[in-house]
Each structure stands twice: as structure tokens, then as C-alpha cells.
Amino acid sequence: MSQGYPIKIYSEPDLSQSSLVLGWSEDAGNLGRKVTDYLNRKLKGQKFAEIELEDFFPLGGVTIEGNLAQFPESKFYACQELELVVFQSNPPGTEWYKFLNSILDVAEQHCQVKELYIIGAMVSFSAHTSPRQLFTVVNSAEIKEALNQYDLVGDMNYQTPAGERPTLNSFLLWIAKRRNIPGVSLWVPIPFYLSATEDPQAQKKVLSFLSERLRLEIDFSDIDQEIREQNEQLAQARSLYPEIDDYINRLESNLMLSEKENGELIKKIEEFLRESA
Amino acid sequence: MGISLCKEPNLENPILVASWPGIGNIGIIAVDTLRGMLGAEEFGEIEPWDFFYPRRVLIKNGILEYLEFPSSKFYFKRAAGKDIIFFIAEEQPTEGSRIYAEGKKAYHMANLVINVAEKFKCRKIYTSGAAVSLIHHTMKPRVWAVPNSERLIQEIRRYENAVLMSDIEGRGKQGNITGLNGLLLGVAKKRGFEAICLMGEIPVYLQGLPLSYPKASKSVLEVLTRSLKIEVNLDKLDELDQRVQRRIEEFYQQIPLAIREQLDRLRHVVYDKPVGPGPITEEEKKKIVDDVEKFFKKRGEGE
């Protein structure tokens, strides 16, 4: 790399005008990870590069999730025929600017990336029966116009509230803008009681857009099946536990639950889905 | 990662005065007050993105318009026949969960500041911050002064209300300066620049509060302006101090009586010459610090 960034290239992908889809692990509903895993699995993405960890992650040990030791990953995959690059990573703990530039270095210098799509989830206090919307934030008026034909909510106004910081997605979108790479940050609201598990409806919302926009022609019958199964499980939970049904009914009527009720609903749904699995 | 100058002022061996947030924001309030009063003009900045995570995004109608980072800016002004460069940073570059600058980034930023000092042939550098002390908030804070060259010791001895480490009871000429204040002093020494760090005293029981301490900023500013032979009106700083003192008094009254009685004894300390109801021994000083620490720990756990 021109600036000595810590990147390992295993093979040079044959790409001429590709799009980069990026998903972070550890977001709500595990959305970034699920969507990028799905793309790699369905489109046979081949790993070709990774960012070395030591500059960006605290490597004092391992975390344990779901009984398994976890270790950070930052890997690039290529689906050459479809001119698609997928980057899947844990969010870095430090040296964000250097890390985000490393991603775009690989994208530009090894993949001729022309557009960037960043996947993001946001926790929503709505019911799972509400249709998922796909919000977008872009880094240029030109790409905004190019997205007009899709079913997107692209008129968001937002300013970071006091005491909070912008997301890593905004940081990346801004760097991409400085490098003249058109970029789109995609945001799907995920019902809060599914944020610690997963939300196949949200996954499909993002994947459907990407499939249409990038002409991936994905057959979604498998994810449709997952959506049906989760809906059945949640319907069963509602019929077995009146308090779950009451909470979700109130959310469906646009009523807010108390903090305690939110906590109870999360706990009961997570327990039920875990036992059902 | 570097310095971006929007103009190159013609300066004659300027003084560089640097500051950033820290305990009680003592240094930055002092330096930024002086910068504002002199009407210093911005001429450059250290590019922030390699040092800091952004602090604000502005999205308008779905388009990312703006990403704001903590700024680290340079200003200049000619006052009382001398050129002054101000360097004022809104945050210290940190690594991991540390509060104050440390590590490679901080060292790099300190070197960038000295690069500007070198470019404009600065003859002296001042940094400023806080000195956590066993004093009472009703007392006028002293200014601890640490030079990076033997030659400056005599100069500091002439400053009114400033003390060298050797003049501070129980210090034995020793101590340390954390964060960019210390680092800049060290990097300046390494690169052949004379520098002095001026630290305004803040009571030990106020160091953890999210309050600024303009009383100490005023002490720092008095020393700095006398050293630079600049006259400024400090009324605004007095007004700010009065407002903060009211909030400190409210907090002080919430401290349990037994601890407050200990702290009240600090009112009678005239530095190393205690007067009034009786001298405070080293053992009693330690007890005051221990009691205050226990109180804050308990308070923190309660919250």
C-alpha cells in the first residue's frame, strides 16, 4: 500500500468496475454480519485480502460469545463475475481513520471500486409486524439522484446529539467523499426485542435493495423461509404468553412501553426463541 | 497527517502559548481568554482526522453534509511589541480509554506543534494546566511553574504567586506532568526550545468534578501576562469565577460534615506556613485526602 497500511493480499481479484458492500459484526440484529455472510454464501465470495489486526484491535485476549471464543476479523471477499466486493469486519477499537482508509485503499487499488454500500442497523421501538424500511444517507447529490428509483427513505435530517458521537459508517462515508467515491449508508430499523438475536426481515430488506441495484439476481426463497419461521415462532410466543401479546399489541398501536416492560419483552422473546431453536 | 496553514504571517521570534482541556480546564480557559482579549487571528490547524474520532455529523435531506472533528488551531497576534502564537486544542489525542494524551499520537501532535514553533522561529513556549493541591476553594491558587531549562529558573523566581517544585512543601523538587503539557515541554527540550509549564492550583476535592476552575485560570493568566508584559482586563474571568464558586459552594455543602470539617481546616493554610486554629500535620493532610477519596468513591458507586 502506498502509505504502508497493514494489509495482506492473498490474490488479486479480476475486477474492473466493482461495488463494495461493507458490514460490521456486532451491530443490532447482527445485521452486517448476516447480510455479508449471506452474500458470500449465495454468490460464492472468495477471500482475497485482510487487514492486519494489531494496529486496530485490543489484543489482550479473546471474547466468548455463544460458548465460543471470538477473535476480530477484517476480511475482503470478491465475487468476480458480479463485480462485487464484500468486506466483513469487527469495528476497530482505535486508529479509525487509518483503518477506514485501509479499506478504501484495497477497494480502489485492487478492486477498482466505483461505489460503496455500508450496512447499518438501528434499534427501533416498533413491533416486528411493522414493515421494515430502508433509510439511506449518501455522500453526494449525484448518488442520491441515482437511488431515486428504489424503495428507500432518503430525506433524513440529523445532527449528532450532545454527548454522542457519529457512527463509524458516517466517518467512512465522509472519507469516501473526500476520495470521490460515491457512497451510501443503509440503515434498517430493527425491533428492539430482536436486536440481540436476528431479524431476517431486516436482512431481506437490505439484500433485496442490493440485489436490485447491483443486479445480483439472488433467489430469496431461503431467507423467506427464515422470515416465515420467525414469524410463526413469534406468533406462538404471543399465543402462549398473554403478557408478550399485550406488549406487542401496544407496540402495534404505536404505544410506548415502560423501560421495565421493554426489558421484560426482550428477555421473554430471547428466551423463547432460544428454546425454540 | 500534518499541519494546514491558511496564511503565513510574518512574525518576529514569537512566543508560543499552547493549551488544551484538562482538569478544571484551567489552562485552556486562561489561554483562550487571552487569545480572545487580544483578538488573535487564526492562521492554521493540525489536521484532526488522524488524531481524533469525529464528534458531530450533519445530515441534510439524506446527504452527509459535514463531519466535525475536535479542532487544534493556531492563532497569531502582535501585542506589546511582541508576536504571540496561540495553539488551542479542543481535545487531547488519547489512545484507548485514557483521558489525557499519551503514546504515539500525543508525541506526534507535540512534534507538529514544535514544527510550527520551529517554522516561525519561536523563542519561548508556554504551556498551561492544573496542579492538584491541598488548598481550599476560597484561597487564591498559586501557579506551579516547571521550566525545561536551568536558565529559566531565575526568571520564574521573579514571577509573583508562582512557585518552583522545590518551593512546594513535600515535593523535594520532584513531580510529573501528565498529558500534552508534559509531553510538549519534553519535546521542546529535545528539539532545543525553552519552555515553561504554568499550572494553576485546584483543590484536591474538586479535581473529579465536571466544573471548570476559572480562579486558577486567572492566577495562570496573571503570571503569563506579567511575564509577557501585556496588560489585560480580567473582569470577565472574575465574573465566571463568581458563578462557578456558587456552584462549588453548593457542592461543598453536600459533603458530609465530618469531611467538610477536615476540608475547612485548609482555609487556614497559608501554603507551608499554617496559621489559625493549629498547624495541619502531614498525617492530617493524608487523612483529608483519604477521606475525600473515600467520599467520592462512595458517591460514584451510589450513582
Instruction: Answer whether residue A1 is part of any domain.
Output: no
Q: Which of residues 95-114 of A touch B (CB under 8 A)?
A: 96-98
B130 beta partners: B200
In this prediction, residue B281 carries a pLDDT of 61
- The answer to whether B53 faces chain A, any CB pair under 8 Å, is yes
Considering the segment(s) B3-234 as one domain, its CATH architecture is: 3-Layer(aba) Sandwich (3.40)
Q: Which three cell numbers stand for residue A207?
A: 439484500
Q: Which of A139, A110, A102 is nearest to A14 (CA)?
A: A110
Residues A173 and A40 in one domain: yes
From chain A, pick out residues whose CB is under 8 angstroms from the CB of B50: 97-98
Residues A50 and A139 in one domain: yes
Provide Rg for chain A, Cα atoms: 19
- Tell if the CB–CB gap between A174 and B67 is shorter than 8 Å: yes
Measured over the CA atoms of residue B190, residue B193, residue B194 and residue B195, the dihedral's sign is negative
Q: Which of A196, A218, A240 is the last residue of a domain?
A: A218
Which chain A residue shows the shortest CA-CA distance from B55? A165
Residues A175 and A230 in one domain: no
Residues A268 and A177 in one domain: no
Cα(A41)–Cα(A216) distance, integer angstroms:
13
So what's the ipTM on this one?
0.88
Considering the entire predicted model, what is its pTM?
Answer: 0.84
Annotate B30-41 with b (16+ C-beta within 10 A) or e (fewer): bbbbbbebbebe
Residues A254 and A161 in one domain: no
- Tell if the CB–CB gap between B55 and A165 is shorter than 8 Å: yes
Q: Is the pLDDT of residue B156 over 60?
A: yes
Provide Rg for chain B, Cα atoms: 20
Instruction: Answer whether residue A2 is part of any domain.
Output: no
pLDDT band at B276 (very low <50, low <70, confident <90, very high): very low
pLDDT band at B16 (very low <50, low <70, confident <90, very high): very high
Residues A69 and A135 in one domain: yes
Residues A205 and A247 in one domain: no
| Type of residue found at B182 | G
Instruction: Answer whether residue A123 is part of any domain.
Output: yes
Q: Which of A172, A203, A218 is the last residue of a domain?
A: A218
Instruction: Answer whether residue A254 is part of any domain.
Output: yes
**Secondary structure (H, E, C), chain A:** CCCCCCEEECCCCCCCCEEEEEEECCCHHHHHHHHHHHHHHHHCCEEEEEECCCCCCCCCCCEEECCEEECCCEEEEEEHHHCEEEEEECCCCCCHHHHHHHHHHHHHHHHCEEEEEEEEEEEECCCCCCCCCCEEEECCHHHHHHCCCCCCECCCCEECCCCCCCCHHHHHHHHHHHCCCCEEEEEEEEEHHHCCCCCHHHHHHHHHHHHHHCCCCCCCHHHHHHHHHHHHHHHHHHHHCHHHHHHHHHHHCCCCCCHHHHHHHHHHHHHHHHHHC
Lowest mean pLDDT across A8-22, A54-68, A165-179: A54-68
Q: How far is CA B78 from the centre of its chain?
A: 23
CA A155 to chain B, closest CA, distance in angstroms equals 4
pLDDT digits (tens, 9 = 90+) for B30-67: 999 999 999 999 999 999 999 999 999 999 999 999 99
Residues A139 and A73 in one domain: yes
CA A94 to chain B, closest CA, distance in angstroms equals 7
Instruction: Answer whether residue A95 is part of any domain.
Output: yes
- Tell if the CB–CB gap between A139 and B67 is shorter than 8 Å: no
Strand arrangement, sheet containing A113-124? A7-9, A46-51, A74-79, A84-89, A18-24, A113-124, A183-191, A135-138, B63-68, B56-60, A158-159
- The answer to whether A263 faces chain B, any CB pair under 8 Å, is no
pLDDT band at B303 (very low <50, low <70, confident <90, very high): very low
- The answer to whether A155 faces chain B, any CB pair under 8 Å, is yes
The average pLDDT across A221-245 equals 95
Q: How far is CA A71 from the centre of its chain?
A: 19
The average pLDDT across B172-178 equals 73
At A92, which CATH number? Answer: 3.40.50.10900
Measured over the CA atoms of residue B296, residue B200, residue B183 and residue B5, the dihedral's sign is positive
Gap between the terminal Cα atoms of chain A: 45
Contact B123, B227 (CB under 8 A): no
Contacts of residue B226, defined as CB under 8 A and 6 or more positions apart, other chains included, come to: B159, B160
What DSSP designation does B148 have?
S
A86 beta partners: A21, A77
Q: Which three cell numbers stand for residue B229?
A: 508584559
Q: Which of A152, A157, A169, A175 to mutate to test the interface with B (most CBs of B within 10 A)?
A: A157
Cα(B229)–Cα(B225) distance, integer angstroms:
6
Cα(A223)–Cα(A207) distance, integer angstroms:
10
Q: Which of B219, B155, B154, B149 is nearest to B188 (CA)?
A: B149
Residues of chain A above pLDDT 70, percent: 98
- Tell if the CB–CB gap between A173 and B96 is shorter than 8 Å: no
In this prediction, residue A124 carries a pLDDT of 94
**Structural domain spans, chain B:** 3-234, 255-303
Residues of chain B above pLDDT 90, percent: 63
pLDDT digits (tens, 9 = 90+) for A99-111: 999 999 999 999 9
Residues A33 and A160 in one domain: yes
Residues A47 and A166 in one domain: yes
Domain count, chain A: 2
pLDDT digits (tens, 9 = 90+) for A151-191: 999 999 999 999 899 999 999 999 999 999 999 999 999 99
Residues A138 and A32 in one domain: yes
- Tell if the CB–CB gap between A159 and B58 is shorter than 8 Å: yes
Strand arrangement, sheet containing B72-79? B3-5, B41-46, B72-79, B82-89, B15-19, B124-133, B195-203, B143-147, B162-163
Task: Write out the residue range of the structural domain in which residue A243 sits.
Answer: 225-276
CA A168 to chain B, closest CA, distance in angstroms equals 9
Instruction: Answer whether residue A161 is part of any domain.
Output: yes
| Beta carbon pairs, A and B, within 8 Å | 67
In this prediction, residue B167 carries a pLDDT of 77
Residues A214 and A230 in one domain: no
Q: Is the pLDDT of residue A149 over 60?
A: yes
SS3 B248: helix
Q: Considering CB atoms only, which of B57, B60, B95 is closest to A170?
A: B57
The average pLDDT across A181-208 equals 96
